[in-house]
Structure 1
Amino acid sequence: MTTRRRPGRSMVRGLGLLLLGIALTGSGEAQTPPIRGGTLRIGWIPDAKTLDPHFSVQFSERYALYLIFNTLVGLDKGFNVVPELARAWQVSPDGKRVTFQLQRGVKFHDGTDFTAEVVKWNIDRILDPQTKSPQRSQLEPAVAAVTVVDPSTVAFELKKPFAPLLAALAERPGFIVSPAAVKQSGPDFGRRPVGTGPFRFVEWVADSQVTLERFPDYWDRGKPYLDKVIFRVVPDPTVRLTMVRTGEVDITTDLDTKDVPTLQADPSLRISEMRPAARWTALQWHVDEPPFNSKALRQAIALAIDRNELKDVLLGGFGEPARGPVVPGLWWFDPNLKGFGHDVEAARKKLTEAGYPNGFRHKFVVENTPQWIRQAELLQGQLQKINVTMDLEAVNTADAYALIVQRKTNWTHTRWTQRADPAGLLSILFQSKGFANSTGYSNRRVDELLDRAATIYEPERRKPLYHEAERIITDDVPYVFLNYTAEFAVMSRKVQNWGWIPDLIPRFRELWLER
């Protein structure tokens, strides 16, 4: 079994990555030769804790990671796995050995060489229990060992066939760090990262900015086009937007959809929408302890929510009501899954069944930003119709996810983007031992289905297993799925060559600035 890059070709014969109907609108693809030089200024979300990819869990950290580091394999705009530090790979007939041929002549920013030994060191670091890497759980169930074949060839020996491997190596588990720099910096490596990427780290001023500069010895000759990239930490999305309008930053993502019509009318700006939606929003809670260990209570709340109202009021009509944990457009999406509709009477009956005939009250933690507070207040009004009271408590956005991971926050909102393989999200959130399972959810049948699907390379054989798991997960309500959300980026018209990837992590490395 062999997988190689061929433009427009799916990975069905390899690890089964296939995306249906992705359209990237307003991408601003470059039509003229790139212009070199200039500084790209990015309005950034303020929750980064580390720039060591082996310890990264925050969404915004990956914005910078994809500039400082390379992954072993990459993703293109169609969500296909493509070569990066590995130029080619083959999967053995039994599916239990994946051999990678590596790029030659690659240097780290500290001048050390990228070799097969370096790949082995990186994977061994993640797999070592003493490292306590959050990426370990994505590799340990399947990777038995990494073997150096020669200086530019490395083999992953698998405990079992493992279809999600390539997709995993295109994100955090696949980022390759400098062993020499890790040994030199120790625990400070996350504040002084060294990779092979197109930009090298310059400085990180806490709560202010991260500065990167072009790496002149980058292995992908001729790139990058920019001289410098500066991430400006701006907590308030409204302020980020104002800074784009005034020219203080060149681009920002994570827009409030209420601002989109006005932005579309501004001739100095370009708006890009990701279609179809690549992220869902949801409510989550601890399902392994009272009071939300009551499935009837969780279902009552799910039934009381009017998702169409959320879409119209909060999203300006963009996006669509969510039915489950997979967005439309992915091959593992189940079009027959209906999810929870809006049924107030059924919700009241479920609330009584849960033992709350006179109503229910609980604290709800909300990020202290305008759009999340608007959502919480709208939900508050909807749930009051079945006598469920949400007592809102605001938290700093930079601390919100860390509190969820530490299980210090119970009932709250969340959102997740898709991964290039179904296991990339479904397994980390919904398997009993998933590293991002912060709800305490555990269902033996779901564990069995996800484990079995991961050992199968053919998407058509995997698909029914994922569909069954999605139906069980949705009915069990570890999350209340709200909306498949519209995602927008806004940028100065001088920003060229922008394009979405469906994981919603911008790859700024390809951009250039018109003079």
Structure 2
Amino acid sequence: MERILQKTNGQGGGMGKRTFLRLSAASLGLAAAADITGGALMAAEPEGEGLVIALRRLGFLVPNPLRESGGSMEYLPLIYDRLVAPDPDGNLSKERGIAEDWDMSPDGKTWTFHIRRGVTFHDGSDVTAEDAKFSMEAAIGPNSRSSRAAEMRELLAGIDVVDPYTLVVRCNRPFLDLAAFCSNRSGIILPKAYYETVGDDAFTDRPIGSGPYRFSSVVVGSEIRLEAIDHHWRDGKPRFGSLKLLMIPEEATSIAMLTTGAADITTVGRDKVAQIEGAGLKTIRKTNAAIMNFRPNMQWTSPAFSDIRFRKALNLAIDKAAIMATVFDGQATPTTTWPGSVIRVAGTIPELAPYGYDPAEAQRLIREAGFEGYEFRVPSYQRTLAPEFPVLVEAVVGYWQAVGLSPVIYNTDFTSFQADWRAGKVEGNVMGTDGVTDPSAYDILDAMKLYLHSSSGRTIIRDAGLDAMLDEASVSLDQDRINELLGQVYQRIYDQYYFVPICEISEIIATTPRTPDWSPGQLSEEHMFYDLTRQG
């Protein structure tokens, strides 16, 4: 492994002659962490009865759901309720959301939601079906940031308020997953009267919802402060009188804050676990939080990316066991292909073995296909769930260089790269990601349509066979058939080597001793902080 990694050169953006372990230590900032165990752990001094959470991803920290981005689900459910809310395992719950019940017509085209009585916004006004209608229409409006807004605009025939506590949603075609759609950011309930009275800008400055915490203040891109309400219909009196959520991109900084008592919760890399626990801090694992994988983008535009021999060679060239042992400190598990083990929620799926490590066969395939020395770009950026990500990129690039390819690393930030991705400006790129979907057939299908359907602006391939499977799954009312189709898509992704899967990892959450234990759940965009703040 070291021989392979040392063969990389500066021109290719690889690791030069540094050994892998030295690079790992430097890149992860071990020295900057100020020797976690070198001094006594200072007792956390909360702000009154407050809790401080330091994370790398909190969206834009613009507390208007209609203006926010990914990562904001860490704090938005503390301010707002959703029409339908999930439990920690991702199951839709009739106890956690504004809708206390719902039902679907036999033809799958009409949904009726029964709104919970007695729920109020922070200004004391009642939450009604009018608010739910207003919120749903706003969530799929022309300025929505939802990836499914355009699809939902075409899908919905109308939304009707039958009475203050009954909402009817009519669809143009059968839609089995409307309740699931209402369980994410698109389902957040806004106060119609207040929003329309003050306008979008004023609401963004002083938002109100019906969640267990009310908005206090924000420094956009830096921090948001929330204050507990006296009583919440679901959570009662919150455990902590106030919350402060901080955007802290640097791992070393967040660790230092934890050890000095300036923060109570953060996330850390796997190599920090022994030091964190040795310093008297606690760790919680969010299992199977991410599948580390690489995606050749816009495969139809590249003679190499569109050749199955090339894609297979990308996979066979990588010693994934060595990467799991070294980059991820032995705290990773093998995976087959995207979307990873979450596919098991679809029931019976094909039993697939992870791709093997065979650099000789990878070289043979590259020569046979005529792609020796082929150059492509590999972006490197920070990823929330894997502080080790830049090291992973260098390791993977080193393996590809060792079999005769010429990948070039370029440093960027994910927000910039994502803008190019959405604009279709990522030809010739093999992007890495720590992405994972929520544990539901709906979310898996949604993600598959986003990344694999030819009509999507963010698709990585164009495959008529996959389009047909995904189209059928989208209109089916038979969950067993949907699950069967998801298994078929999964098999085809694997057979065609559309992705370069590396491994699956858990997320490591570090906390101070005073922080109660809680389940961070399996949802991809939130840590269930409203469960943490509930009284025991």
Identity of aligned residues (%): 25
Match of 2:266 in 1: 252
1 CA distance for matches of 2:445 and 2:185?
A: 14
1 CA distance for matches of 2:148 and 2:126?
A: 24
Match of 1:283 in 2: 294
Q: Deviations over 1:323-357 (max 9, x none)?
A: 1223325322735133533222332233234431x
Match of 1:345 in 2: 360
CA contact under 8 A between 1:56 and 1:134: conserved in structure 2? no
2:110 to 83, 97, 102: 97
**Structure holding more strand per residue:** 1
1:324 to 321, 324, 337: 337
1:372 to 364, 389, 396: 389
Are 2:454 and 1:432 equivalent residues in the alignment? Answer: yes
Match of 2:321 in 1: 308
Paired residues for 1:169-318 under 5 Å: 169-183=182-196, 184-186=198-200, 189-190=203-204, 192-216=206-230, 218-220=232-234, 222-253=236-267, 255-266=268-279, 268-275=280-287, 277-284=288-295, 285-290=297-302, 293-296=305-308, 297-318=310-331
CA contact under 8 A between 2:421 and 2:458: conserved in structure 1? yes
Question: How far off its partner does 1:389 sit?
Answer: 2.6
Question: How far off its partner does 1:418 sit?
Answer: 2.0
CA contact under 8 A between 2:453 and 2:467: conserved in structure 1? yes
2:422 to 396, 402, 405: 405
2:501 to 476, 481, 502: 481
Change (3 A) 1:76 1:438: same
CA contact under 8 A between 2:68 and 2:145: conserved in structure 1? no
2 CA distance for matches of 1:497 and 1:38?
A: 17
Count, aligned residues: 472
Change (3 A) 1:398 1:413: same
Question: How far off its partner does 1:450 sit?
Answer: 2.1
Question: How far off its partner does 1:280 sit?
Answer: 1.0
Question: How far off its partner does 1:136 sit?
Answer: 0.8
Match of 1:503 in 2: 523
1 CA distance for matches of 2:49 and 2:89?
A: 29
Change (3 A) 1:105 1:292: farther
Q: Which amino acid aligns with 1:269?
A: L
Question: How far off its partner does 1:405 sit?
Answer: 3.3
Change (3 A) 1:131 1:62: closer
Question: How far off its partner does 1:511 sit?
Answer: 2.1
CA contact under 8 A between 2:380 and 2:409: conserved in structure 1? yes
2:80 to 41, 55, 69: 69
TM-score by length of 2: 0.80
1 CA distance for matches of 2:528 and 2:91?
A: 15
Change (3 A) 1:128 1:209: closer
Structure 2: 5+ residue stretches without partners: 1-47
1 CA distance for matches of 2:204 and 2:370?
A: 48
Q: Which amino acid aligns with 1:72?
A: L
2 CA distance for matches of 1:345 and 1:149?
A: 67
CA contact under 8 A between 2:228 and 2:240: conserved in structure 1? yes
Question: How far off its partner does 1:491 sit?
Answer: 0.8
Q: Secondary structure at the match of 2:54?
A: strand
Question: How far off its partner does 1:439 sit?
Answer: 4.1
Question: How far off its partner does 1:80 sit?
Answer: 1.3
CA contact under 8 A between 1:48 and 1:398: conserved in structure 2? no
When the two chains are superposed, the root-mean-square deviation of aligned CA atoms in Å is 2.8
Moved more, 109-118 or 379-388: 109-118
Question: How far off its partner does 1:398 sit?
Answer: 5.6
Q: Secondary structure at the match of 2:299?
A: coil
Change (3 A) 1:261 1:497: closer
Q: Secondary structure at the match of 1:487?
A: strand
Question: How far off its partner does 1:222 sit?
Answer: 1.6
Are 2:506 and 1:492 equivalent residues in the alignment? Answer: no
CA contact under 8 A between 1:116 and 1:154: conserved in structure 2? yes
Moved more, 129-138 or 420-429: 129-138
Q: Deviations over 1:282-316 (max 9, x none)?
A: 11223242366423333321221222222111222
TM-score by length of 1: 0.83
2 CA distance for matches of 1:306 and 1:191?
A: 50
Moved more, 225-234 or 103-112: 103-112
Question: How far off its partner does 1:38 sit?
Answer: 1.5
Q: Which amino acid aligns with 1:396?
A: D
1 CA distance for matches of 2:530 and 2:140?
A: 29
2 CA distance for matches of 1:478 and 1:191?
A: 44
2 CA distance for matches of 1:217 and 1:134?
A: 34
CA contact under 8 A between 1:295 and 1:476: conserved in structure 2? no
1 CA distance for matches of 2:446 and 2:144?
A: 21
1 CA distance for matches of 2:523 and 2:358?
A: 32
Question: How far off its partner does 1:47 sit?
Answer: 6.1
Structure 1: 5+ residue stretches without partners: 1-36
Question: How far off its partner does 1:235 sit?
Answer: 0.8
Match of 2:31 in 1: none
CA contact under 8 A between 1:418 and 1:425: conserved in structure 2? yes
Match of 1:15 in 2: none
Are 2:429 and 1:395 equivalent residues in the alignment? Answer: no
CA contact under 8 A between 2:58 and 2:74: conserved in structure 1? no
Match of 2:377 in 1: 363
Question: How far off its partner does 1:417 sit?
Answer: 2.3
Question: How far off its partner does 1:365 sit?
Answer: 1.2
1 CA distance for matches of 2:52 and 2:373?
A: 50
Q: Secondary structure at the match of 1:93?
A: coil
Change (3 A) 1:359 1:234: same
Question: How far off its partner does 1:111 sit?
Answer: 4.2
CA contact under 8 A between 2:231 and 2:238: conserved in structure 1? no
Paired residues for 1:56-205 under 5 Å: 56-58=68-70, 60-83=71-94, 84-129=97-142, 133-137=146-150, 139-140=152-153, 142-183=155-196, 184-186=198-200, 189-190=203-204, 192-205=206-219
Which structure has the larger Rg over C-alpha atoms? 2
Change (3 A) 1:125 1:363: same
**Structure holding more helix per residue:** 2
Change (3 A) 1:338 1:141: farther
Match of 2:468 in 1: 448
Q: Which amino acid aligns with 2:407?
A: M
